[in-house]
A and B are shown apart, each in its own frame.
Chain A
Amino acid sequence: DVKVTQSSRYLVKRTGEKVFLECVQDMDHENMFWYRQDPGLGLRLIYFSYDVKMKEKGDIPEGYSVSREKKERFSLILESASTNQTSMYLCASRTVTMAYEQYFGPGTRLTVT
């Protein structure tokens, strides 16, 4: 069965902390994505990766970085968390052989205080 997992469902961090959000997929997918979801704004693409060590900026990369050292794992890093990064973060993965298949993780609700 297809599986995308995220390290935490809920996370509370303080302003200025470094935050790591981890995403792991077990489907050998080439592409992985990080989105944030905010009410009234839908899902906005932060970063995506189409191969190990490859990354591309999405629409809102400011304040974030990513790491993909292994194919199955894609990490989102908040170098210095701020209150405006309080949001739901969704990870997704996709294979390039089936254009329409994109699978999502359960999401991490991050609160920065």
Chain B
Amino acid sequence: AQKITQTQPGMFVQEKEAVTLDCTYDTSDQSYGLFWYKQPSSGEMIFLIYQGSYDEQNATEGRYSLNFQKARKSANLVISASQLGDSAMYFCAMREGKRNRDDKIIFGKGTRLHILP
């Protein structure tokens, strides 16, 4: 069964609009973490934001925020005021494990975001 589900293979959004990229996850661990990465056409993986399962507040990093709803097991990425440079593939990922030392990090299939001028 998929542990990270990103239901939107592709999205088209007008520049300056806010964007929400969906991510749901499945884990039985109490301690886990959720990430979002951006992969532009150059291929590099760029870390955007992280949310720990025990963090009470939603993580924010500049224009990025993570809408963490633990009971629903969702960790949506919100990009405010989108820019042309936000066009890229976006991956949701989860760190699962109990000890941090040997935790593994698994990824969803990604959402390709296109920002329209």
Contact = CB atoms under 8 A, between A and B. Distances in A.
Given A40-B9, A41-B109, A99 B33 contact: yes
B109 A56 contact: no
Interface in A73-113: 88, 90, 92, 94, 96, 99-104, 106-107
A96 B45 contact: no
Interface in B72-117: 91, 93, 95, 100-110
Contacts of B102: 31, 50, 54, 56
Interface in A18-63: 30-31, 33, 35, 40-45, 48, 50, 54, 56, 58-59
A40 B33 CA distance: 23
Interface string B7-45: 001000000000000000000000001010000000111
B68 interface: no
B85 to A, nearest CB: 19
B112 to A, nearest CB: 10
Given A42-B91, A42-B110, A88-B43, A100 B33 contact: yes
A58 B100 contact: no
| Size range of the chain B interface in the assembly | 20 to 34
A101 B52 CA distance: 12
A102 B47 contact: yes
B45 A33 contact: no
Contacts of B104: 33, 45, 48, 56, 58
A94 B91 CA distance: 17
Interface of A: 30-31, 33, 35, 40-45, 48, 50, 54, 56, 58-59, 88, 90, 92, 94, 96, 99-104, 106-107
Interface of B: 6, 9, 33, 35, 43-45, 47, 50, 52, 91, 93, 95, 100-110
